[in-house]
Amino acid sequence: MIGLSSNPDRPSYEVAQALQSEGFDIVPVNPNEREVLGVNAFPDLRHVTGLTDVVDVFRSSEHVPQIVDACIECHVRTLWLQEGVIHHEAAQKAVDAGIEVVMDRCMLKEYRRLLG
């Protein structure tokens, strides 16, 4: 999760905590954090080791182009842009690179909607 905060009042923390409790492996990506929810944080996506299936983004829209470049470089399969995170040009670049993109949707809300 790019932009995951250790602050329990932040939406990123709430979503990550709920998904983690459902069995999802959460990998915090935030240069300002050392650990979130008991998991070591990475300064950026390029430092994450292992396969990353989905990158969930909790950053403002202006950061999406750089995140897309990192996703392409790291061979990410799916880019998930949380509610309010919208960047059509960068999303199209990701799609053109073979990355599935979900934009302006909350992963936790969608999980609960689909799996109840």
- Please report which confidence band the pLDDT of residue 53 belongs to, taking 50, 70 and 90 as the band edges: confident
State the pLDDT at residue 50.
82
Which pLDDT score is estimated for 80? 98
pLDDT digits (tens, 9 = 90+) for 71-82: 999 999 999 999
Architecture field, domain 11-115: 3-Layer(aba) Sandwich (3.40)
Model-wide pTM > 0.85: yes
Quick one: which H or E segment has residue 20? Answer: helix 11-21
51 has a pLDDT exceeding 80: no
C-alpha to C-alpha distances, 43 to 3, 99, 100, nearest whole angstrom: 10, 22, 24
Mean pLDDT over 59-64 rounds to 98
Cβ burial 49-79 (10 Å sphere, 16+ → b, else e): eeebeebbbbbebeebeebbbbbbeeebeeb
d(CA 97, CA 12): 27
Q: What is the pLDDT of residue 34?
A: 97
